[in-house]
Amino acid sequence: MSWLARLGLWLVGLLVAGLLAVVLVVGVAMVVAYPNLPDISDLADYRPKLPLRIYTADGELMGEFGEERRNLTPINEIPKVMRDAVLSIEDARFYQHGGVDYLGILRAGVANLGRTKSQGASTITMQVARNVYLSTEKTYTRKIYEILLTYKLEHMLTKDQILEIYMNQIFLGNRAYGFASACEIYFGKPLKDISVAEAAMLAGLPKAPSAYNPISNPKRARSRQLYIIERMEENKYISTEQAKAAKAEPLKLRSSADKNNLHAEYVAETIRQMVFAQYGPETYTRGLNVYTTVQAAEQKAAYRALRQGILDFERRQIYRGPEKFIDLPTDLKKMEDAIDDVLDDHPDNGDLMSAVVLEAGPRKVVVVRQNAEQIEITGEGLKPVQSGLSDKAAPAVRLRRGAVVRIAQTAKGGWEITQQPEVEGAFVAITPQSGAIRALVGGFDFAKNKFNHVTQAWRQPGSSFKPFIYSAALEKGFTPATVVNDSPLFFDGGVTGGQPWEPKNYDGTFDGPMTLRKGLAKSKNMISIRVLQSVGPRNAQEWIGHFGFDEEKHPAYLTMALGAGSVTPMQMATGYSVFANGGFLVQPHLITRISDPKGKLLVDSPPPPEPTEEQRAIPARNAFVMGSLLQEVTRSGTAARAQAMLKRTDIYGKTGTTNDAMDAWFAGYQPHLAAVVWIGYDNPRKLGDRETGGGLSLPVWISFMDSALRGQPVTEPAVPAGLVQSGGDWAFEEFAHGGGITSLGTGDKAADKPTETAPDERKRILDLFRN
């Protein structure tokens, strides 16, 4: 045998020995490693971390809280098209192989050895092993553990069980885990309704959730989607015709600007706090499902109405200038990167979208969005920012190239440049009979300001508080026909114990003697003060407690007649509900039931359909007469637009504007729905000389009620016992024939002169202020 042959045999032997040694080492490693593998028996009953999910009364998801947004979905409920899309791109031979793709393992080994980026393809079973139990480090040790775990999973679980775990466990971007959650987040729809095109888009996410995100990287996501559709066709999951249709299908991605989105962030946060107080940290992992009294359609209507009201107010304000200025490079790619970066820092706020100005002139402004879409704005769309287009505009205000601005679509389909509002607002609607909260919007934008103005904002209610004073007066003998003088009042420092006080009506005029009914309808301050003088501030303070108000927040002074105390919008809704439901104080109710992921009921707390006599706050006849007075306000008074625009008579309410127009209110109801609107600045300041509750908050209320009451019949309450008609109006039976108060203050001096207080009267009024 030649030396060459001997050398060849020696090399072959060395190679065989080397291979045997590798096999032996790997075998020993596996024997040593296998006992150290994690126990996977719990995967047979797969229970991942599940978030707290909060639903409306009609089953629409309005919020979820947890590190992982996941909606656990059994494999038989995952649509076939979704499974097919995933298998086509991730593991086409999933149901044929034993869990390990040996060619893929070899590729991964070579890639690691060569320090290249390509790592080969792992099977779905290997991905489950890695995602559930192992780290993402790329080492041979971790790869051995992964292979062993893969065999163990294939031995203990069925293929469907493994695929179910994968499709619920995998991370898909935007805090979405699993395809059911991703479908809701990206497309705003349940997984059962997914199309071929949508399934292909989602199936592209596991490889790189950020790189293939259809919202932030639409071009790359589209390219991968088309590739997956082709793979689905190659694997015979779809026909050529289906593939062609899927490629042509336009995808409707869920956007914060979508008007059909359910914005219930303030409600959801309130519920999160309530549930956390009960369940602690496991609130975010136990998979609790909370069902509420909120009605999805009414919540959407409330959000749109309040938002539109605030934006309408903002259009009347002086333009404060762009949010930021950046230098735009001349290089196109660098310019696109600069625009993307700055708009990332200034995300869209619902229908208020961020954009960068490319060109600005007095008659035309061109802006660009993050997706490189250019929008030209002219004419009416430039009106809100005219001051920023002036040559005399200050540098911080002037619109120019590189300015970061807000744009919004108009009702006519065009575009306008606007600005982020500084003013805040609140809206709440409840069922008067049960206290069920049907809609709640705690501010303009939860992302910007998480302070819930419905429950946390203590503000002066202004004239919207007057009905509670009038209610007290009815118990003291007043009737709607009682005549009270709308003439000037003056209280000097000796009377008030401080500064002299000369209250005014809103319009600065005085109309002389008028009925109580007309005085409330026209919101006459002098009438309310004289009524409170007669009732007594301390008596009135005790009476307002019947409506759920905190007495200590309404000092027993005559200023209480003008709503100088402090209330929250939720308190006002509760108080007006007492008039609406016939005199019962019903506490607001939000959570109806809580269940675990399997549907087991943990809490069952439906709101009672009707109040009981134990909850009676005021007599039924008092509530009825007050309803009659509040109905007059919406028929002929400061809120006459309400009945006129809603074209129905069962509308009751009261406007409210505080001193210097710092708060604008409208509180009102239909017999089966009470709602309150407040608008103002967090740090109180004037809304504007011409801004009132009737002009600012009432349109929001009307817009909501127009939607909420559509199709509902007009409801008129029955006349309760103890009332009679007297003097052409309602009166308590015992006050109908001379027992009540027929007039008040009608002996005063001429209405155009301040009334000096006589010495003997001065002491009585001073006592009223102090008591």
List, by residue number, the catalytic residues.
Answer: 90, 463
What's the rounded Cα separation, in Å, for the pair 771 and 766? Answer: 9
Q: Which two tokens stand for residue 729?
A: 């109006």
The count of other CB atoms within 10 Å of the CB of residue 204 is 27
Number of helical H runs and strand E runs in the chain: 25, 23
Long-range CB pairs of 35-44 (<8 Å, 24+ gap) are 37/145, 37/148, 37/149, 37/152, 38/133, 38/149, 40/133, 40/149, 40/152, 40/153, 40/156, 41/156, 43/132, 43/153, 43/156, 43/157, 43/161, 43/165, 44/156, 44/157, 44/161
Question: Do 592 and 291 contact (CB within 8 A), yes or no?
Answer: yes
Q: Which residue is listed with tokens 């005029």? A: 509
Query: Which helix (H) or strand (E) covers residue 676, if one does?
Result: strand 673-680
Say whether 552 sits in a helix, a strand or coil: helix
Question: Do 294 and 267 contact (CB within 8 A), yes or no?
Answer: yes
What's the rounded Cα separation, in Å, for the pair 303 and 290? Answer: 21
Q: Which two tokens stand for residue 618?
A: 């005021």
Say whether 607 sits in a helix, a strand or coil: coil
- Sheet containing 663-670: which strands, arranged edge to edge? 437-441, 424-430, 673-680, 663-670, 652-657
Instruction: Report residue 127: phi and psi, to 5°.
Output: -65, -35
Q: Please report the DSSP string for 482-520 in residue order.
A: -EEEE----B-HHHHSSS-B----TTS---EEEEHHHHH
